[in-house]
Structure 1
Amino acid sequence: MGSTEERPSHGRNPRGGRERVEARLAGRLAELRAENGWSLEELARRTEVSRSTLSRLERAEISPTAAMLNRLCAAYRMTMSQLLAEVEAEPPQLVRADRQVMWRDGEAGFTRRSVSPPHPGLRGEIVEGVLRPGADISYDRPPVPGMEQHIWVLEGALEVTAGDGAHEVGAGDCLRFRLWGRTRFRCAGPGPVRYALMVVLP
């Protein structure tokens, strides 16, 4: 899920490691659907993702985009970090920089690093996001309604739209809001934008 031009270059997982994570993610998505007693048709209805795409995801034939994974997390009422934590064998208390899980949506130009030590029961988490120039990602719903987000831009400029409000957040600025509806993240500068995202569940 990435391209050679995406940042950051440090802490990349080996190709074999990414493939193992993606295979475990596919298996966990299939388990979650079975645990909820949903058919592929029912999950397709809840997520507005086609049945054939969901089937291919669960067989690890394709990788989900950021927007697609957000819809699945919303259906299962969990954050992306909680889902990714469930595919880790032994969630540690301390995670070194070179062991932090990185997930890439190469098509959208988005790199996501899970900074917080993973745990499926976590109530708060820190994520690093990098958007390459021109990247523009929209999410049609929050994974957990009412979750609180703090966005601290470390480099570049980020335009964030939450509900009816749009904010341009520059390096050093921090934006806080509760998330109930649609959101949009757009790289607003000529270079990539890197930011820290803190999520607090209600």
Structure 2
Amino acid sequence: MGNPEVVAADVDVRLGVRLAELRTEQGWSLGELAERCGISRSTLSRAERAEISPTAALLNRLCAVYGRTMSQLLSEVEAEPAAVVRAADQPVWEDRSAGFVRRSVSPPHTGLRGELVEGRLAAGTDLAYDRPPVAGLEQHIWVLQGAMEVTAQDVTHRLGAGDCLRMRVWGATRFRCADDTGVRYLLAVVRP
């Protein structure tokens, strides 16, 4: 598969190009996009030029503006998905600053609504999203190892290994690792 750092940098470059394409398709300036998503123009510009690796929170805000899930956006910078995706070929994206690793188990296809994602949160990780990437997104969160807290619509659910939470996402959400050794979970996402 090659050097992981080179592969990650290549994904950041392709992601930056795709973000710039999406903005151009909408006919927006960096300033207009900044107003819509609440991210500074300089940060948006640096992400588009691949000078920074976008955080999960930044990508979530951009996905909300563009009406895509994070998996959809990330799949747009990958090759056309095959019917079978071997474990070694499943794209992995990491937000190192937050302690979040995301593996696209079943990369989405434009004709399908569902996808599977493996998530890992390091001990102490606390991810907050101010809005869903797509309003009404259905999510099933199945904890495989460890424990986590998921907050949606001002209700916090504590989940341990084997527990599964089903929810529709309309507003802010929060994913917090509630285990000293981290948490590993499977996220099933179904677009409305």
> What TM-score bracket applies, with the shorter chain setting the length?
over 0.9
For the residues of structure 2 that align with 1:20 and 1:105, how far apart are their CA atoms? 15
- Unaligned runs of 5+ residues in structure 2 are none
Where 1:160 maps in the other structure, the secondary structure is: strand
Identity %: 67
Structure-2 separation of matches of 1:34 and 1:116: 28
Cα displacement (A) at 1:20: 1.4
Please say if residues 85 and 120 of structure 1, whose CA atoms lie closer than 8 Å, have aligned partners that are also in contact. no
* Contact 1:86/1:119 (<8 A) preserved: no
Partner residue of 1:63? 53
- 1:107-138 per-position Cα deviation (integer Å, ceiling 9, x unaligned): 11110010003424431110000001100000
Instruction: Tell me the distance in 2 between the aligned counterparts of 1:185 and 1:174.
Output: 14
**TM-score w.r.t. structure 2 length?**
0.96
Match of 1:199 in 2: 189
Pairwise CA RMSD: 1.4
Q: Is the counterpart of residue 20 in structure 1 residue 26 in structure 2?
A: no
Specify the alignment match of 1:46 in structure 2.
36
The residue that corresponds to 2:146 in the other structure is: 156
Question: 1:92: which partner in 2?
Answer: 82
TM-score (norm 1): 0.92
Structure 1 gaps of 5+ residues are 1-10
- Tell me the equivalent position of 1:166: 156
Deviations 1:15-39 (A, max 9, x none): 2222211111100000000001111
The structure-2 alpha-carbon separation of the partners of 1:12 and 1:179, relative to structure 1 and needing over 3 Å to count, comes to farther
Deviation at 1:163, TM superposition (A): 1.1
In structure 1, distance between residues paired with 2:130 and 2:113? 22
Take 2:113 and 2:33, find their aligned partners in 1: how far apart are those partners? Answer: 25
Query: In structure 2, what is the Cα distance between the partners aligned to 1:182 and 1:38?
Result: 25
Letter paired with 1:142: P
Distance 1:119 1:168 in 2: 32
SS at match of 1:195: strand
Which SS does the other structure have where 1:107 is aligned?
coil
Q: Report how many residues are paired.
A: 192
Segment of structure 1 superposing worse, 120-129 or 91-100: 120-129
- Other-structure match for 2:96: 106
Cα deviation, residue 14, structure 1: 2.3
Contact 1:13–1:101 (CA<8 Å) still a contact in 2?
no
Structure 1 position 13, deviation (Å): 6.5
Question: Does the 8 Å contact 1:79/1:144 carry over to 2?
Answer: yes
